[in-house]
A and B are shown apart, each in its own frame.
Chain A
Amino acid sequence: MIKDEVVSFLKETPPFTYLEDSELSNLADNIALEYFPKGKKILEQAGAPSEHLCVVKKGGVKVYVTSEDDVETVIDYRGEGEPFGLLSILSGDRSRANVVAEEDTICYQIPRENILEIIKNNPSANEYFLKSFLINFIDKSFEDTRKKYSEISCGDKLIYTTKVADVIRSTPLVASQNLSIQDAARKMVDHRVSSVVVVDENNAPVGMITDRDFREKVVASGKDVSSPINTIMSQNLVTVEASEYCFEALIRMMRHKIHHIIVMDGNVLKGMLTNHDFMVLQGSSPTVLVKEVSQIQSTKELEGTASKFHRVVSHLLRDGAKANNIAGLITELCEKVINSIADIIEKEIGPSPSPYSLFLFGDGGRRELTLDFKLQLGIITADTDASLQQELDADYIMIFASKMNQSLQKCFGDEKQYLDPQNINTFSKWKSLFQTSVSESTSGVLAKFFEMRAIRGGDAEAVYLRKTLTNIASSSEDLMELIATATVQNRPPLGFFKQFVVEKNGEHKNEVNLYEKGIMPLVNVVRIFALGKNVAGDSTSRRLQGLKVEGLDTAQDIELSLEYIRELMIHNQLQQIEEGEKPTNFVNPESLTNFEKKTLKESFQLIGTLYEVIEGQYRTERLV
């Protein structure tokens, strides 16, 4: 009977999976099936609230809001098995967004009363609804409802779904940079705060002072307390935009090992976030794993690290974290692992005879790693004159490299050569490699080094080399042409009739490599655009921000496509892991819903369009 079909559909559709069979059967009794032709507006922003929760059975819908000046912002696309209309069911007053059928769409409709009952009686279903919908809070009036719920649901997800602006409580205490140390200290005591932001005459922040600065730079070193505070302030201001997610702030604080971060709204000081704010927000921290891997003492403890990563990532995904953020976190975790391993190795074989710098390049350099851990490491060793010293250094680094590889293989359970001896060179060797490679046909490989980023030892050398490379690129039409040529060789996997072009044979027959065919082309294109417009930034998302400022129209589309493909990829990897396979970047398009197929195709088409732009800008040869 059709009812069985409805029940089995619901059974596979969260949050109804949490319901008992009798409850499901009850629900199925009251369900309706509605059809919306493509283009049909199903819910209207500020219009009547939804009477039912709609779950897409086939097809897909777009959820978007329009501002007063008619600017449309897409909140989400909902495909098969995904619900819409919950917000207005909860609030009961009006619809929060427009919902329009993106293709011919069939929906199951579950009456409002049934949904409210489920939310009331079933904690797991309740939690699911709130989690998946909290991601898309839409306006202030819903904020109260949200606050109410954030107390009862788990706090972790909030850092992915809450904007920095929503967390900062008050503007921080500011002090003019000419104020004396003593006056500043008094001010802090009066206001009972542990930090103060130092500002210049235009009220723009120039530095920060915390309790620690008083301890270390004043008391411990016996400094005169009448000197101005700009002599003791820390000048490397780490800031975050108020419009960014808390997650971004947290990542930055972890990276810089700081406990306070300044919140800006453009040029205006907005406030300050502290560890305490996060603890309040989160209850328990998602950074437990970060702590755990930083505290690894022996290589034995490395085993099973990969599966810990998987668990964390699967949590994050379920909580609605953005793929871009997840990639950032995976990279951050990998860096911590590598540093822990390096510590262990140094304990074992002693410190390096000469300084060296360990760097990431490629995906890791851009902070875009996913669960297949395409980690690529390189080392810059110091230039020394004495040949004996050179040999000593080389021996040490080779042992270091082989131990690093063994440990990482153990950690991720594979055989990859993470630190290829080919990528270990002295500083001057790297420099000449970059300078001479312009003429070589292999300069496509060079692209990855635009994102070299030191994670151990000094970063001066890596920064210098990266700048060298950027300078060569901006002054050498030849290099740009070679890079552009290498990029456009990798054609999007769409046939003449826009059908997917899949692998013809081998292990991944009938599948598409999302990384090679989707992520890499977009990353490469963005890199070329960024180089062409002198836009700085070592990650693709940073570059895109810069390119947006430069007025690149397609930046937003690229961002969305990247996010979409990356999320699909991580989802796919998690699924493979759940099925006991090794995570790969391959997906069979036939396993995707129509909606997913369509979005993926559009992303591939975008790549084609971008290639045309590049082919118009640079002399490229398409090798067949």
Chain B
Amino acid sequence: MTSFLSNIFGKGPEVELPDHIQRQKSLKKRLNLGGSYLDTDFVAFDTELTGLDFKKDSIISIGAVKLKGGIIFPSNSIYRMVKPESELNHKSVVVHEITHSDLDEAEDLDRVIDDFVKFIGDAVLIGHFIHIDLNFVNKVLKKKYGIALSNRAVDTSTLHDWLYENDSRFARHHEGMTDKTDLFSLAQKYGVPAEKAHNSFYDAYITAQLFQRFITFLPDCGIKTVKDLLAVSRP
């Protein structure tokens, strides 16, 4: 019954929410939408999933790296693996090359997500097809705290498509190359080194570097503020 009620009404007031979750509620007020995105804190992140079924599947690992504007801080990053609730799905073993033995260091999902929320703080999130990752993170948060992340999000795939449509230099520069917009194809197309077998951490790093490249085109397109950026890179 409790779980049924809490799903409907959220947690009762008698349960004190931890600081990092409490902060989420006032987060939107703190973001300066009129400021330059070059002075804004970002976190690029990616998850590995057992599959794409929102109901059945869940997060295997999460990786994230911080940026300030277009500058990446490679060491300011986290990578966590999650103990699987169900058997490892064969397909994702092939895609991510995570094997069962890798998961020895894995932790509980709740704890990993808590640490992730602490890590991102107020930052604007960056991801490639980020809505998928957000959904799986929020699934955990809703279940545990009854909230979803309030952080604003930038989708590099949307941003890429927008630039392709709106910046002739951008289009001309990359003429005749692949149309694929998956992360690895884009990495190759824009010269982001991506030789590592991909896990969520390297994918987050690649995403950060794509973002780093894309935003150099923005000033000439009249995109100056965080608000402008969010408008052209909506998930």
Contacts and interface: CB of A to CB of B under 8 A. Distances in A.
Interface string B69-101: 011111101010000000000000000000000
B77 A33 contact: no
A466 interface: no
Contacts of A106: 193, 209
Interface in B174-202: 191, 193, 201-202
A6 B209 contact: no
A104 B214 CA distance: 12
Contact of B75 (A31, A34, A36, A58): A31
A3 B75 contact: yes
Given A1-B77, A2-B205, A33 B72 contact: yes
B75 A6 contact: yes
Contacts of A36: 216
A6 B74 contact: yes
Contact of A33 (B191, B201, B209, B216): B209
Contacts of A28: 74-75
Given A31-B74, A33-B72, A34-B71, A1 B79 contact: yes
A33 B191 CA distance: 15
A37 B72 CA distance: 15
Contacts of B74: 2-3, 5-6, 28, 31-33
B201 A104 contact: no
Interface in A97-120: 104, 106, 109
Residue with the greatest number of chain B CB neighbours at <10 A, chosen from A6, A31, A33, A37: A33
Given A3-B77, A31-B75, 6 more contacts: A1-B79, A2-B74, A29-B75, A35-B209, A35-B216, A58-B193
Interface residues of A, number: 20
Contacts of A1: 77, 79, 201
Contacts of B193: 58, 106
B213 A2 contact: no
Contacts of A40: 216
Interface of B is mostly: mixed
B75 A104 contact: no
A1 B201 CA distance: 8
A30 interface: yes
Interface of B: 65, 70-75, 77, 79, 191, 193, 201-202, 205, 209, 212-213, 216
A109 B75 contact: no
A595 to B, nearest CB: 13
A73 to B, nearest CB: 28
Nearest to B72: A33
A2 B193 CA distance: 12
A33 B79 contact: no
17 contacts: A2-B74, A2-B77, A3-B74, A28-B75, A32-B72, A32-B73, A32-B74, A33-B71, A33-B72, A34-B71, A34-B212, A35-B209, A35-B213, A35-B216, A58-B193, A104-B191, A106-B209
Contacts of B71: 32-34, 109
A465 B65 CA distance: 72
B199 to A, nearest CB: 10
A483 to B, nearest CB: 44
A29 B75 CA distance: 5
A248 to B, nearest CB: 42
A333 to B, nearest CB: 43
Nearest to B211: A35
Nearest to A29: B75
A45 B210 CA distance: 30
**Which 3 residue pairs of A and B lie closest in terms of their CB atoms, listed nearest first?**
A33-B72, A2-B74, A35-B212
A1 B78 CA distance: 9
A109 B68 CA distance: 13
B81 to A, nearest CB: 13
Contacts of B212: 33-35
A2 B191 contact: no
Interface in A1-57: 1-3, 5-6, 28-37, 40
Contacts of A58: 191, 193
Given A28-B75, A35-B216, A2 B201 contact: yes
Nearest to A30: B75
Residue with the greatest number of chain A CB neighbours at <10 A, chosen from B71, B202, B209: B71
